[in-house]
């Protein structure tokens, strides 16, 4: 690569002007050793392969980068690289390569015009409206307009794994395609009193194309209403323009009866086939919908002890077109106790769907001993219908760690279990993590 | 390399070099020993010990505490105290303030009544003072619009260490609720969370690994793929197909299914279709073709009710197994349309030209 001296000098000048006030650095060096199954086509049993990826995971956030042009300039990057010391994992993204890596996020964010305009450029995620957490290489602009209006627009290329081809066929991205764009216009009306009180209304659109063919064409509306401090209502309606029907409707309420007692309720409608890309050959065979609704609560019995439970009815299409909808259930119970250096938890989950279901138990705990800590986590599932001829799965994980000097910590973990696909499974992991914040100037 | 260029680049590197100080973790502040509530209940003016009239900013090293030495000789202390105490000097505070606040400017506005904002004084044993609730600020300041627009600066230095309350409280069904809140209020989420945080779970196509594998020690986090997820992923997918599709494209599923000999395109095994491992449902005699003339094969209704499940193995575009039978003109296609009624009502023949996928069968 040729770099001219004037260009290098300009870079030096700019570098001298630009300096971040705060830099968050997180680095994780990790080795994981485990087993995965391969093959098993009739009449052979699957083979067990040992996988041993070594990772370096890096995340840097440089905030308030002083520079002569933009205000509140921040830079964010999270990335990783790995090397397969044994057989490649199934999720390397490039099975033929031992050396791998990817860029999770890399974006610059700047605020301009009295912080009324926010611009993000790079590899980022867009979450608002009907964007559905779209991950793209591109840009997003948020502009605060007078009278409580806000305008947001984005455009870019949906991200796929390992810088691979962007076409839907082999892309791991749920939206695939080679162009995504959309936006949202919102109106916020604040009510005096507790922060957050008020109404936010939004209308949004999201379009994704693949070589000009439609992948997704959705418009929608959303709202958040907090009429008084303890009650919040949210809602979303998404409509597929291409298929001319609703893809998702959601209404949700949360109410803090007291500081310690909180209840939530929600109802949802969605059409699973509309979550497939419109240029998938499978998008033309189904137009079914599903619903679920239910409620949950959490109650802080004491400062240390909290319980929570929830129940949802799930309604899915019957086994055949003539049969009535199947009405299933989903329930959860959590108890968590946190006293001083000790945290203990119990979770019970129940799922009863048409094809199968399970009853799950999880017990976990963590205990800190000064600079040391240990955790244990046991999770078991009892299946309603057997999975691969087995009725249950149980896995247990223990980990231990120690805080070293200067933001360094070390963690080792081991996992063992009995599952429907593995009579015995063992994994071990060791990682060295570094987390630190560097400040050029403490702002108070 | 050109030596002059090397020198300029070295200068650039030096200019970029971190002239920064590493933030030391704040040492824990010692517990409060002063019985505040006893004095508040006795209507002792806060200013008797806290001369805040000239305090224009919050500083970690400055306590603004001046406990009178001769309590038996001054009012109102002498009303209760009949014995002097040794001079008391409060220990220095270490924890930095994350807020900008001017006491001197605010005291006249509340007519010196500190309790207007400080509704609960620190008690003996507390390691941190109870900060006034934000409602104390918004009782006078119209910050609703700023809140809605997530403009927390310049009052807040940052939002680290704050626990969200009411609507945004991260408890209970937070995993189910957070998406519904992020859609209208994504910028509010961004006030605390960088996208690198969101990406830990929401970027499976580029992530290094499942969060529960990278962070096994975070037992308190709600990771949905924790433990042996392989054994139950089809159950969760069957119960809520959209949940998987929010993050995973078909090719993600196939990456594993091919290696396991489950998917038709199985380069790892090179097996023929007949030798592939398949779901038990596919072994029924009338799965692919009708058991009796005029009847429907079972795969049709199954695909109607959960097409996302089919896509886990069969989403290969023109090479998909569906095309062989369902394309127009196929000898086994029959006269019944594979499209559901709702699909036909939304599309006419003109749409075929707008989507290459349609032309695979209709071309």
Backbone angles phi, psi at B222, to 5 degrees: -90, 80
Chain A residues 85-104 with CB within 8 Å of chain B: 90-91, 93, 95, 102-104
Beta-bridge partner residues of A295 = A265, A311
Please indicate if any CB of chain B lies within 8 Å of the CB of A186.
Answer: yes
Chain B CA closest to residue A333 = B172
List, for residues B198-241, the tens digit of each pLDDT value. 888 898 899 999 999 999 999 998 899 999 999 999 999 999 99
Asked whether the beta carbons of residue B357 and residue A213 sit closer than 8 angstroms, the reply is yes
DSSP H/E element including A237: strand A231-240
Nearest Cβ partner for A399 among B185, B217, B260: B217
Q: How confident is the model at residue B269 (pLDDT cuts 50, 70, 90)?
A: very low
Q: How confident is the model at residue A255 (pLDDT cuts 50, 70, 90)?
A: very high
Return contacts of B34-39, CB within 8 angstroms, 24+ apart.
B34/B67, B34/B88, B34/B90, B34/B124, B35/B123, B35/B124, B36/B121, B36/B122, B36/B123, B37/B121, B37/B123
Nearest Cβ partner for B239 among A23, A285, A328: A328
Q: Is B202 helix (H, G, I), strand (E, B) or coil?
A: helix
Pairing of strands A425-439, A408-418: antiparallel
Shortest CA gap B80–chain A (Å) = 34
Q: Which two tokens stand for residue A213?
A: 């063919």
CA nearest neighbour of A8 among B28, B304, B4, B202: B4
Interface test with B, best of A75, A224, A239, A273 (most B CBs within 10 A): A273
Asked whether the beta carbons of residue B19 and residue A275 sit closer than 8 angstroms, the reply is no
Chain A residues 319-338 with CB within 8 Å of chain B: 319-321, 328, 330, 336
Asked whether the beta carbons of residue A196 and residue B166 sit closer than 8 angstroms, the reply is yes
DSSP H/E element including B22: strand B21-22
Residue with the larger pLDDT of the pair A224 and B98 = A224
Nearest Cβ partner for B249 among A132, A173, A425: A173
Mean pLDDT, chain A, whole residue set: 90
d(CA A417, CA B19): 49
List, for residues A320-359, the tens digit of each pLDDT value. 888 899 999 999 999 999 988 999 999 999 999 999 999 9
Shortest CA gap A313–chain B (Å) = 11
Please indicate if any CB of chain B lies within 8 Å of the CB of A391.
Answer: no
Chain A CA closest to residue B173 = A296
d(CA A204, CA A130): 6
Shortest CA gap A135–chain B (Å) = 7
DSSP H/E element including B6: helix B3-16
Q: Which two tokens stand for residue A202?
A: 């939004």
Asked whether the beta carbons of residue A148 and residue B97 sit closer than 8 angstroms, the reply is no
Chain B CA closest to residue A186 = B184
ipTM: 0.91
Does A442 have pLDDT greater than 70?
no
What is chain B's length?
363
Cα–Cα distances (Å) from A235 to A201, B90, B172, B175, in that order, read 10, 50, 19, 16
A43: preceding bond cis by omega (within 30 degrees): yes
Average pLDDT over residues A18-29: 84
What's the pLDDT score for residue A396? 97
Dihedral angle of Cα B43, B49, B54, B57, to the nearest 10 degrees? -100
Nearest Cβ partner for B184 among A3, A39, A222: A222
Asked whether the beta carbons of residue B196 and residue A285 sit closer than 8 angstroms, the reply is no
Are the C-beta atoms of residues B330 and B321 closer than 8 Å to each other?
Answer: no
pTM, entire model: 0.84
Q: Tell me which of A209-213, B167-171, B305-309 is least confident.
A: B167-171
List, for residues A148-203, the tens digit of each pLDDT value. 899 999 999 999 998 887 666 688 998 888 999 999 999 988 877 777 788 899 99
Cα–Cα distances (Å) from B241 to A23, B71, B181, B222, in that order, read 40, 72, 21, 20
Interface test with B, best of A199, A324, A355 (most B CBs within 10 A): A355
Nearest Cβ partner for B259 among A90, A279, A419: A90
Chain A CA closest to residue B9 = A8
Q: Tell me which of A53-57, A330-334, B321-325 is least confident.
A: B321-325
What's the pLDDT score for residue B349? 86
What's the pLDDT score for residue B4? 61
Q: Which two tokens stand for residue A5?
A: 């001296």
Chain A environment of B337 (Cβ under 8 Å): none
Shortest CA gap B72–chain A (Å) = 39
Residue with tokens 């390992």: A162
**Interface size between A and B, measured as CB pairs under 8 A:** 491
Residue with the larger pLDDT of the pair A188 and B15 = A188
Chain A environment of B256 (Cβ under 8 Å): 90-91
Nearest Cβ partner for B239 among A95, A353, A390: A353
What's the pLDDT score for residue B17? 44
Asked whether the beta carbons of residue A61 and residue B306 sit closer than 8 angstroms, the reply is no
Asked whether the beta carbons of residue B230 and residue A197 sit closer than 8 angstroms, the reply is no
Burial-class residue A32 by CB neighbours within 10 Å (0-12, 13-18, 19+). Answer: buried
Does B96 have pLDDT greater than 50?
yes
d(CA A107, CA A110): 10
Asked whether the beta carbons of residue A23 and residue B216 sit closer than 8 angstroms, the reply is no
Does A11 have pLDDT greater than 60?
no
Beta-bridge partner residues of A293 = A267, A313
Q: How confident is the model at residue A18 (pLDDT cuts 50, 70, 90)?
A: low
Burial-class residue B267 by CB neighbours within 10 Å (0-12, 13-18, 19+). Answer: exposed
Asked whether the beta carbons of residue A287 and residue B341 sit closer than 8 angstroms, the reply is yes
CA nearest neighbour of A367 among A407, A412, A337, A335: A337
Shortest CA gap B13–chain A (Å) = 8
Nearest Cβ partner for B8 among A9, A262, A271: A9
Please indicate if any CB of chain B lies within 8 Å of the CB of A39.
Answer: yes
Average pLDDT over residues A123-138: 93
Are the C-beta atoms of residues A334 and A307 closer than 8 Å to each other?
Answer: yes
User: What is the distance, to the nearest Å, from the Cα of residue B343 to the centroid of all Cα atoms in its chain?
Assistant: 36
Shortest CA gap B208–chain A (Å) = 6
Q: Which two tokens stand for residue B172?
A: 């209970």
Are the C-beta atoms of residues B180 and A250 closer than 8 Å to each other?
Answer: yes
Average pLDDT over residues B278-297: 83
Nearest Cβ partner for A243 among B251, B260, B346: B346
d(CA A41, CA B269): 7
Asked whether the beta carbons of residue B135 and residue A229 sit closer than 8 angstroms, the reply is yes
**Which residues are CB-neighbours of A69 under 8 A, at least 6 positions away?**
none
Chain B environment of A222 (Cβ under 8 Å): 183-184
Please indicate if any CB of chain B lies within 8 Å of the CB of A288.
Answer: yes
Chain B environment of A439 (Cβ under 8 Å): 20-23
Nearest Cβ partner for B357 among A186, A232, A281: A281
Shortest CA gap A189–chain B (Å) = 7
The CA angle B361-A164-A277, to the nearest 5 degrees, is: 35
Are the C-beta atoms of residues B339 and A304 closer than 8 Å to each other?
Answer: no
Asked whether the beta carbons of residue B238 and residue A353 sit closer than 8 angstroms, the reply is yes
Nearest Cβ partner for A282 among B5, B196, B315: B315
Nearest Cβ partner for A40 among B177, B260, B340: B260
Asked whether the beta carbons of residue A186 and residue B251 sit closer than 8 angstroms, the reply is no
List, for residues B333-358, the tens digit of each pLDDT value. 667 788 998 898 999 888 888 888 89
Cα–Cα distances (Å) from A205 to A89, A220, B246, B322, in that order, read 37, 6, 17, 32
Shortest CA gap A182–chain B (Å) = 14
Asked whether the beta carbons of residue B9 and residue A214 sit closer than 8 angstroms, the reply is no
Asked whether the beta carbons of residue A276 and residue B245 sit closer than 8 angstroms, the reply is yes
Asked whether the beta carbons of residue B316 and residue A377 sit closer than 8 angstroms, the reply is no
């Amino acid at each position: 690569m040729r770099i001219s001296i004037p260009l290098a000098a300009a870079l030096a000048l700019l570098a001298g002007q630009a300096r971040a006030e705060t830099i968050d650095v997180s680095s994780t060096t990790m080795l994981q050793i485990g087993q995965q199954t391969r093959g098993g086509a009739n009449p052979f049993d699957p083979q067990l392969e040992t996988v041993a990826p070594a990772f370096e995971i890096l995340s840097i956030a440089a905030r308030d980068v002083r520079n002569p042009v933009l205000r509140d300039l921040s830079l964010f990057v999270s990335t990783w690289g790995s090397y397969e010391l044994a057989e490649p994992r199934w999720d390397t993204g490039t099975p033929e390569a031992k050396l791998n890596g990817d860029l999770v996020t890399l974006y610059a964010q700047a605020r301009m015009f009295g912080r009324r305009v926010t611009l993000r450029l790079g590899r980022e995620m867009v979450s608002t409206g009907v964007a559905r957490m779209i991950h793209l290489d591109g840009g997003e602009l948020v502009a605060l307009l007078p009278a409580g209006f806000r305008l947001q627009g984005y455009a870019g290329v949906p991200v796929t794994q390992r810088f691979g081809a962007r076409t839907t066929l082999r892309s791991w991205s749920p939206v695939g395609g080679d162009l995504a764009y959309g936006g949202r216009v919102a109106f916020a009306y604040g009510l005096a009193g507790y922060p957050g009180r008020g109404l936010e209304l939004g209308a949004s659109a999201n379009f994704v194309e693949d070589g000009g063919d439609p992948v997704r064409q959705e418009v929608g509306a959303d709202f958040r209403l907090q009429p008084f401090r303890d009650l919040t209502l949210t809602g979303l309606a998404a409509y597929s323009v291409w298929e001319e029907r609703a893809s998702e409707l959601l209404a949700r309420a949360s109410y803090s009866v007291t500081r310690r007692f909180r209840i939530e309720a929600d109802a949802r409608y969605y059409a699973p086939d509309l979550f497939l890309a419109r240029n998938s050959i499978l998008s033309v065979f189904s137009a079914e919908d599903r619903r679920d609704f239910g409620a949950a609560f959490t109650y802080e019995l004491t400062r240390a002890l909290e319980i929570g439970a929830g129940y949802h009815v799930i309604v899915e299409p019957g086994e055949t077109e003539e049969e009535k909808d199947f009405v299933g259930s989903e329930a959860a119970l959590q108890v968590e106790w946190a006293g001083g250096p000790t945290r203990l938890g119990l979770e019970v989950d129940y799922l009863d769907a048409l094809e199968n279901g399970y009853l799950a138990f999880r017990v976990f705990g963590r205990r800190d001993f000064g600079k040391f800590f240990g955790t244990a986590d046991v999770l078991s599932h009892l299946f309603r219908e057997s999975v691969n001829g087995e009725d249950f799965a149980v896995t247990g994980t223990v980990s231990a760690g120690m805080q070293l000097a200067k933001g360094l910590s070390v963690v080792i973990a081991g996992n063992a279990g009995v599952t429907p696909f593995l009579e015995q499974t063992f994994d071990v992991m060791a990682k060295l993590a570094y987390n630190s914040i560097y400040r050029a100037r403490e702002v108070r | 390399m050109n030596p002059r260029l090397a020198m300029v680049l070295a200068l650039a590197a030096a200019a970029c070099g971190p002239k920064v100080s590493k933030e030391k973790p704040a040492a824990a502040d010692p517990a409060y020993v002063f019985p505040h509530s006893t004095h508040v209940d006795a209507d002792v003016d806060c200013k008797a010990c806290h001369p805040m009239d000239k305090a224009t900013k919050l500083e970690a090293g400055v306590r603004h505490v001046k406990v009178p030495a001769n309590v038996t000789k001054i009012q109102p202390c002498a009303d209760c105290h009949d014995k002097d105490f040794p001079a008391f000097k409060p220990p220095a505070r270490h924890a930095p303030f994350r807020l900008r606040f001017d006491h001197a400017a605010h005291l006249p506005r509340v007519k010196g009544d500190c309790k207007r904002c400080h509704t609960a004084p620190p008690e003996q044993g507390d390691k941190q003072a109870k900060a006034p609730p934000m409602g104390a600020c918004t009782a006078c300041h119209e910050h609703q619009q700023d809140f809605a627009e997530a403009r927390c600066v310049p009052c807040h230095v940052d939002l680290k260490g704050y626990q969200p309350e009411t609507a945004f409280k991260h408890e209970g069904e937070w995993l189910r609720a957070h998406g519904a809140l992020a859609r209208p209020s994504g910028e509010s989420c961004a006030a605390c969370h960088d996208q690198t945080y969101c990406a830990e779970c929401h970027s499976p196509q580029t992530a290094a690994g499942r969060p529960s594998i990278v962070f096994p020690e975070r037992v308190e986090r709600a990771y949905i793929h924790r433990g042996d997820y392989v054994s139950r992923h089809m159950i969760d997918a069957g119960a809520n197909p959209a949940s998987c599709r929010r993050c995973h494209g078909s090719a993600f599923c196939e990456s594993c299914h091919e290696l396991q000999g489950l998917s038709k395109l199985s380069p790892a095994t090179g097996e023929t279709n007949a030798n592939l491992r398949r779901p038990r449902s596919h072994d029924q005699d009338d799965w692919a073709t009708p058991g009796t003339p005029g009847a429907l094969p079972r795969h049709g209704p199954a695909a109607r009710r959960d097409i996302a499940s089919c896509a886990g193995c069969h989403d290969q575009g023109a090479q998909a197994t569906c095309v062989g039978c369902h394309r127009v003109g196929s000898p086994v296609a029959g006269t019944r349309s594979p499209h559901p009624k709702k699909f036909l009502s939304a599309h006419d023949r003109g749409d075929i030209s707008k989507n290459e996928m349609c032309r695979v069968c209709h071309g």
